[in-house]
Structure 1
Amino acid sequence: MRGILDTGRAFIWWAKCRGGLATDALTLLLSVLLALTGGVRVQVPSIIGAIGADEPLGFFIPLPVIVAYGIGLARPDRLTESRSARPVRIWDVAFGVLLVVLFLAAAVAGPRDASLICARSTAAGIGLTLLAGRFLAVAVISLPAVGWILIGVLAGRTNYGGDAAWNWPILGPSSGIGWAWAAGLLAVGAVAHMTSR
């Protein structure tokens, strides 16, 4: 019984350190927004002279969630957590997966394509944030994911209508390459996060 209470207290401490409630509330709010307005498209110019496009709002909705997740990872004292017997790193990864699931749930209530793209970008972005946490200063671990998404969207599409394989943020919702990027980045990020620093 004491062990369960200690684990419960440790989990509450972890959730407060990570800003879990605020990040969950933000994700739920954005999931509702996505369900209501996911069919809305915005005109995005290309920064490299390729074809600009009308892109779904769902391309941009993952950005605040990825930043909030990164801020949560940056808040606690790394030395204290490295000595903790509690599975805080596993909780971090599980929390990231939960955020992806919340966006997948929006696919049931609203525009399916935009919700799937949003969930995929969130998964890839969280994986990249976890991976960056292994190598970069904690204050900037969200920047690679946010930068990749923004560059991918602003790079536009090729003149021939095909999309580059590296540009997973704009690939279609059923793109195997896009989902492979998301699964691969999330898996590599999870492994990097859970191994010792």
Structure 2
Amino acid sequence: MRYWFRNRMAGLQLAVTGVLATVCILTDPGEVAVPPIFGSISAVMVLNNVFGLVLAIIYAIGLARADLTVEDRSVRGTGVLDASLGVTMSAIMLLGLLGGPGNASVVRDVPILLGITMVAARWMPRSLASLPSIAYFFVGLLVGRNYDGETWWNWPVSSPSGWVSQGWIISSVVLGVLALVIPTRRVRQHFGADAD
């Protein structure tokens, strides 16, 4: 446990999450309209929305520090610990709601971005695992809102308390936890590791 905590930089990740949650508590940020590129209604975001992106990047860096050739064979549940860290970071960010309604989208973004990062870490290099969530976030903002309501896939511009956001929070966290917790039961091979 102590080795995992140091290896994943869990202390740093929790400290950064605490600082960002404190910033949210102390501020009720103003909104900025992001002009859409496809002619829909502008998306609205706050400066604190970048907090989720920062946490996704730090989380992916921590996941990338794993030695998967060892951890795949280990009986210790490092995947459970990795998933628990992401869920804990999301729970800490809930404190940001104390800062006002402007931070609701920030609190919504963190579990979704971390959940997508967890899923990506299962099937792609972990050092790049935050890229799908970051790309998805910016594409969603730049596409903007529809005139006839919220689309199911575009959570970055949906109402933080709406059904789209709630569905994405639940599904991304559940899928992310499963992606890290369910063991692969195979040892990843390094090129030339078995060459004699």
Q: Which TM bucket (shorter chain)? A: 0.7 to 0.9
Identify the residue that residue 152 of structure 2 maps to in structure 1.
Answer: 165
Identify the residue that residue 79 of structure 1 maps to in structure 2.
Answer: 69
Q: 2:68 and 2:122 mapped to 1: Cα distance?
A: 11
Deviates more, 1:28-37 or 1:67-76: 28-37
Identify the residue that residue 110 of structure 1 maps to in structure 2.
Answer: 99
Which consecutive aligned stretches of 4+ in structure 1 deviate over 4 angstroms post-superposition? none
Q: CA deviation at 1:196?
A: 2.2
Residue ranges of structure 2 left out of the alignment (5+ in a row): 185-196
Q: 1:22 and 1:71 mapped to 2: Cα distance?
A: 11
Q: 2:52 and 2:73 mapped to 1: Cα distance?
A: 32
Identify the residue that residue 123 of structure 1 maps to in structure 2.
Answer: 111
The residue matched to 1:123 in structure 2 has which SS? helix
Higher relative contact order (CA 8 A, sep 6+): 2
Q: 1:184 and 1:53 mapped to 2: Cα distance?
A: 23
Q: 2:104 and 2:110 mapped to 1: Cα distance?
A: 10
User: CA 1:99 to 1:189, structure 2 compared with 1: closer, same or farther past 3 Å?
Assistant: same
Structure 1 residue 189 corresponds to structure 2 residue 176: yes
State the one-letter code of the partner of 2:99.
Answer: G
Identity of counterpart residues, as a percentage? 30
Indicate the RMSD between aligned Cα atoms, in angstroms. 1.6
Q: 2:66 and 2:43 mapped to 1: Cα distance?
A: 41
Identify the residue that residue 27 of structure 1 maps to in structure 2.
Answer: 17
Matches within 5 A, 1:1-197: 11-107=1-97, 109-111=98-100, 113-158=101-146, 160=147, 162-197=149-184
Paired residues of 1:53 and 1:157 also in contact (CA < 8 A):
yes
Paired residues of 1:57 and 1:114 also in contact (CA < 8 A):
no
Paired residues of 1:127 and 1:190 also in contact (CA < 8 A):
yes
Q: 2:102 and 2:5 mapped to 1: Cα distance?
A: 29
Q: 1:170 and 1:59 mapped to 2: Cα distance?
A: 11
Q: CA deviation at 1:175?
A: 0.6
Q: CA deviation at 1:29?
A: 1.4
Q: When the two structures are superposed, what TM-score results if normalisation uses the length of structure 2?
A: 0.86
Q: 1:120 and 1:45 mapped to 2: Cα distance?
A: 21
The residue matched to 1:152 in structure 2 has which SS? helix
Identify the residue that residue 5 of structure 1 maps to in structure 2.
Answer: none
State the one-letter code of the partner of 2:12.
Answer: A
The residue matched to 1:51 in structure 2 has which SS? coil
> Aligned residue pairs: how many?
184
Paired residues of 2:113 and 2:133 also in contact (CA < 8 A):
yes
Deviates more, 1:38-47 or 1:15-24: 38-47
User: CA 1:54 to 1:132, structure 2 compared with 1: closer, same or farther past 3 Å?
Assistant: closer
Q: 1:69 and 1:99 mapped to 2: Cα distance?
A: 9
